[in-house]
Amino acid sequence: MTAAPPPILTDAVVPRPQLSGTEPCATGEKEYFHDSYAVNQPAVKDALRACRRCPLAAECRIWALANPDLAPTGIYGASTPRQRKEDRRQLISRLGDGPAYERVLRRAYDANVAWRTQSDAR
Protein backbone atom coordinates (compact mmCIF):
# COMPACT_ATOMS: atom_id res chain seq x y z
CA MET A 1 0.00 0.00 0.00
CA THR A 2 1.33 3.47 -0.86
CA ALA A 3 0.81 6.74 0.95
CA ALA A 4 -1.74 9.14 -0.52
CA PRO A 5 -0.57 12.39 -2.09
CA PRO A 6 -1.25 15.54 -0.09
CA PRO A 7 -4.23 17.78 -0.88
CA ILE A 8 -3.94 20.84 -3.15
CA LEU A 9 -0.76 22.64 -2.19
CA THR A 10 -0.25 26.40 -2.29
CA ASP A 11 2.22 28.87 -0.81
CA ALA A 12 2.71 32.62 -1.13
CA VAL A 13 6.54 32.62 -0.94
CA VAL A 14 7.26 29.95 -3.55
CA PRO A 15 4.24 28.93 -5.64
CA ARG A 16 3.75 25.33 -6.61
CA PRO A 17 4.92 24.80 -10.19
CA GLN A 18 2.11 24.75 -12.71
CA LEU A 19 1.96 21.35 -14.36
CA SER A 20 0.99 21.00 -18.01
CA GLY A 21 -0.02 17.37 -17.63
CA THR A 22 2.93 15.96 -19.57
CA GLU A 23 5.31 15.79 -16.60
CA PRO A 24 6.24 12.31 -15.38
CA CYS A 25 4.34 12.83 -12.11
CA ALA A 26 1.22 13.96 -13.96
CA THR A 27 1.02 11.01 -16.34
CA GLY A 28 0.46 8.39 -13.66
CA GLU A 29 3.11 6.10 -15.11
CA LYS A 30 5.22 6.11 -11.92
CA GLU A 31 4.34 6.15 -8.24
CA TYR A 32 5.63 9.21 -6.36
CA PHE A 33 4.16 8.57 -2.91
CA HIS A 34 5.41 5.51 -1.03
CA ASP A 35 5.35 4.05 2.45
CA SER A 36 9.15 4.07 2.43
CA TYR A 37 11.58 6.24 0.46
CA ALA A 38 14.72 4.10 0.61
CA VAL A 39 16.63 5.13 -2.51
CA ASN A 40 17.60 1.53 -3.21
CA GLN A 41 13.97 0.49 -3.78
CA PRO A 42 13.20 -0.01 -7.48
CA ALA A 43 9.98 2.06 -7.40
CA VAL A 44 11.76 4.97 -5.69
CA LYS A 45 14.70 4.73 -8.12
CA ASP A 46 12.28 4.80 -11.06
CA ALA A 47 10.42 7.82 -9.70
CA LEU A 48 13.65 9.72 -8.99
CA ARG A 49 14.99 8.93 -12.47
CA ALA A 50 11.78 10.05 -14.17
CA CYS A 51 11.61 13.18 -12.04
CA ARG A 52 15.20 14.16 -12.91
CA ARG A 53 14.22 14.33 -16.59
CA CYS A 54 11.35 16.75 -15.93
CA PRO A 55 11.86 20.41 -16.90
CA LEU A 56 10.12 21.44 -13.66
CA ALA A 57 12.35 19.37 -11.36
CA ALA A 58 14.32 22.31 -9.95
CA GLU A 59 11.17 24.36 -9.33
CA CYS A 60 9.45 21.42 -7.63
CA ARG A 61 12.44 20.81 -5.37
CA ILE A 62 12.63 24.48 -4.39
CA TRP A 63 8.89 24.50 -3.72
CA ALA A 64 9.19 21.41 -1.52
CA LEU A 65 12.14 22.93 0.36
CA ALA A 66 10.11 26.08 1.00
CA ASN A 67 7.06 24.09 2.11
CA PRO A 68 8.06 21.17 4.32
CA ASP A 69 4.61 21.08 5.93
CA LEU A 70 2.94 20.82 2.51
CA ALA A 71 5.37 18.23 1.16
CA PRO A 72 6.28 15.94 4.07
CA THR A 73 6.17 12.87 1.81
CA GLY A 74 6.55 12.17 -1.87
CA ILE A 75 9.19 12.58 -4.53
CA TYR A 76 9.48 16.25 -5.47
CA GLY A 77 12.19 17.67 -7.68
CA ALA A 78 13.96 14.32 -7.82
CA SER A 79 14.38 14.28 -4.04
CA THR A 80 13.11 12.11 -1.23
CA PRO A 81 11.76 13.51 2.05
CA ARG A 82 15.06 12.62 3.76
CA GLN A 83 17.11 14.40 1.09
CA ARG A 84 14.96 17.52 1.38
CA LYS A 85 15.22 17.46 5.16
CA GLU A 86 19.02 17.42 4.88
CA ASP A 87 18.99 20.20 2.25
CA ARG A 88 16.77 22.33 4.52
CA ARG A 89 18.99 21.66 7.50
CA GLN A 90 22.05 22.83 5.55
CA LEU A 91 20.30 25.92 4.19
CA ILE A 92 18.96 26.90 7.60
CA SER A 93 22.37 26.44 9.21
CA ARG A 94 23.76 28.98 6.70
CA LEU A 95 20.82 31.38 6.39
CA GLY A 96 18.60 30.90 9.41
CA ASP A 97 14.94 30.02 8.95
CA GLY A 98 13.57 33.52 8.47
CA PRO A 99 13.38 36.03 5.63
CA ALA A 100 16.86 35.26 4.24
CA TYR A 101 15.93 31.60 3.75
CA GLU A 102 12.67 32.53 2.01
CA ARG A 103 14.39 35.17 -0.14
CA VAL A 104 17.06 32.72 -1.35
CA LEU A 105 14.47 30.08 -2.24
CA ARG A 106 12.25 32.64 -4.01
CA ARG A 107 15.17 33.98 -6.05
CA ALA A 108 16.24 30.46 -7.00
CA TYR A 109 12.68 29.60 -7.98
CA ASP A 110 12.28 32.77 -10.08
CA ALA A 111 15.65 32.19 -11.77
CA ASN A 112 14.64 28.63 -12.70
CA VAL A 113 11.29 29.79 -14.08
CA ALA A 114 13.02 32.49 -16.15
CA TRP A 115 15.64 30.05 -17.46
CA ARG A 116 13.03 27.43 -18.38
CA THR A 117 10.80 30.03 -20.03
CA GLN A 118 13.71 31.33 -22.11
CA SER A 119 14.68 27.78 -23.04
CA ASP A 120 11.10 27.01 -24.10
CA ALA A 121 11.06 30.11 -26.32
CA ARG A 122 14.13 28.97 -28.27
pLDDT at 7: 46
Residue 36 CA: distances (Å) to CA of 30, 32, 42, 48, 117: 15, 11, 11, 14, 34
What is the rounded distance in angstroms from the CA atom of residue 53 to the CA atom of residue 116? 13
Taking the model in full, what pTM does it have?
Answer: 0.83
For 11-28, what is the mean pLDDT? 85
> Hey, is 106 helix, strand or coil?
helix
Per residue in 42-65, pLDDT (tens digit) is 989 999 999 999 999 999 999 999
Domain boundaries, the chain: 24-121
